[in-house]
Amino acid sequence: MPEETTGRVASITLRAAQPEDEAFLLKVYASVRADELAQVPWTEAQREAFIGMQFAAQREHYHKHNPGATYDLILLDESPAGRLYVARREREFRILDITILPEYRNRGTGTLLVKDLMAEAARAGKPLNIYVESYNPSYRLFERLGFKMIEDTDGVNHLLEWRAES
């Protein structure tokens, strides 16, 4: 479990996302796009409109193509800290999204959650995969955990996969 600055171990739990979580989930999505949008000469209203549109499109895509997936909030000591979306498919487990707000990163939370999914996938006898942009800092996390690139879709988005050793 990750340690907080007090040296106390944080409680990490997942909770199914509810309609009333939409503002928080929008905040999580916006945190991923913040650096990119800081470079665009838009007003704050234009940025917010763009983020809202992109968030809605992403949500619609995930739910349309992964209707049986789990869509969870990551809670640290009961406080929302991120999101974890996972599709447990017939032939694979796919992490659709794992995002932790910047103020909660680098505490081991993501590592623990991914390791839990690795163990679950191993028990099910299935690979675990995720698409990650080549420039995303989390790419190194997945490499450290033994994920290998199995597909380079466009020079930026890489499909990474982990398989339990037989």
Average pLDDT of adjacent 10-residue blocks, the chain of 166 residues: 51 96 97 87 93 96 96 96 98 97 93 97 98 92 97 94 89
Amino acid of residue 118: M
- Which residues, 6+ apart, have CB-to-CB distance to 157 below 8 Å? 131, 132, 133, 134
How are strands ordered across the β-sheet holding 79-88? 12-16, 70-76, 79-88, 93-100, 128-133, 157-162, 148-152
CA 82, 120, 60, 17 dihedral sign is: negative
Q: What pLDDT does residue 124 have?
A: 97
Amino acid of residue 127: P
Q: What pLDDT does residue 3 have?
A: 42
Amino acid of residue 150: I
Q: What pLDDT does residue 66 have?
A: 96
Rounded-to-10 torsion of CA 38, 44, 49, 54? 20
Enclosing H/E stretch for 158: strand 157-162
Q: How many CB atoms lie within 10 A of CB 76?
A: 19
What tokens were used for 129?
């995969």
Q: What pLDDT does residue 8 have?
A: 59
Q: What pLDDT does residue 9 have?
A: 63
How far apart, in whole angstroms, are the C-alpha atoms of residue 53 and residue 37?
Answer: 14
